[in-house]
Chain A
Amino acid sequence: MTIRRQTHAIQIGIVTIADRFDIAAVSMFRQTADQILLQTNYIVIDMTTVSFFDSAGMAALVNVLKRVREQAGDIRVIWPTSEAARRIVSLTKFDRVFTSSPSMESALRIW
């Protein structure tokens, strides 16, 4: 019998967004996402402390989701703890479109 053991490490990019994730912040988010996508197609987006989330931020998230999927990668989102910001996530059904994780620890454990 021959047993061969292999390990495969996945590089995971982590983007942490704080305070306002709106049209004014989208450009910086896109630049950061572009840099990460050059290195890996596995991304965690941590929005835990986002207090304001608008439609431009949503469009930017979908853009990253589609690019990751095109490369057969995967994305996890940690939604804001702010109830008001979370309501927008559920109104737009983003909580169904994206795979979410309750914490960074659980997001990283999946892979």
Chain B
Amino acid sequence: MVNIVMAARIDTLVEIATAIRQFLHTLPLLDDDQQTTYAIELAVHEVCTNIILHAYTATDLGSIVLNARFHPYQKQLEINIYDWGTPFSPEHRVLPDLEDGQEGGYGLFIVEQLVDSLHYRRIATTNHWRLIKNIGAAHDHSSSNPRYPNRDRDDS
């Protein structure tokens, strides 16, 4: 298991990536699987980038808390990412134009392709992103994932 508390800044993204990579290297199933390691690293990077750019602002620098754990019986990697910025609004999300290319909208789209499950929920003032990756059964999700991440809201 790995726990990371980082300032939500662009220059800390490399440190998050390094910590995730080091954790993944401790998992025997991922010892030589560069594709899966890259996929997980990029998925985490994109969610954290989204938080830095959209949940927080230049004058509202906050923090990101990340924990990752491996469930050996399910062969499942669970990554939880928390921030305390502006809530994510799926209705304002821009989806990428894959035929012509566009200057945005690729971040969460990429995450959806790389992990098996992506959930977002708002709990009081906390944004919670939960990523699940099945290890050892890696496949392309481009045709099976929903266009939007599942979103549960809990304002209680």
Contacts and interface: CB of A to CB of B under 8 A. Distances in A.
State which size class the interface on B falls in. Answer: 20 to 34
Contacts of B110: 54-55, 88, 91-92
B49 A58 contact: no
State which size class the interface on A falls in. Answer: 20 to 34
B106 A55 contact: yes
A36 interface: no
B107 interface: yes
A59 B94 CA distance: 13
B106 A24 contact: no
A16 interface: no
Contacts of A92: 96, 98, 106, 109-110
A83 B102 CA distance: 23
Interface string B33-66: 0110111011001100100010000000000000
Contacts of A87: 35, 38-39
A62 B102 contact: yes
A93 B104 CA distance: 14
A17 interface: no
A41 to B, nearest CB: 17
Interface stretch (B10-18, B67-75, B115-123): B10-18
A23 B100 CA distance: 22
B91 interface: no
Given A62-B101, A92-B106, A84 B49 contact: no
Contacts of B34: 83-84
Interface in B95-136: 96, 98-104, 106-107, 109-110, 113
A22 B35 CA distance: 18
A97 interface: yes
Contact of B11 (A24, A66, A83, A94): A24
Interface in A19-60: 20, 22-24, 52, 54-56, 58-59
Contacts of B100: 97
B142 interface: yes
Given A23-B13, A24-B10, A62 B49 contact: no
Given A22-B13, A93-B98, 14 more contacts: A22-B45, A23-B53, A24-B14, A54-B110, A55-B104, A59-B104, A62-B103, A84-B37, A84-B39, A91-B110, A91-B113, A91-B142, A96-B99, A97-B98
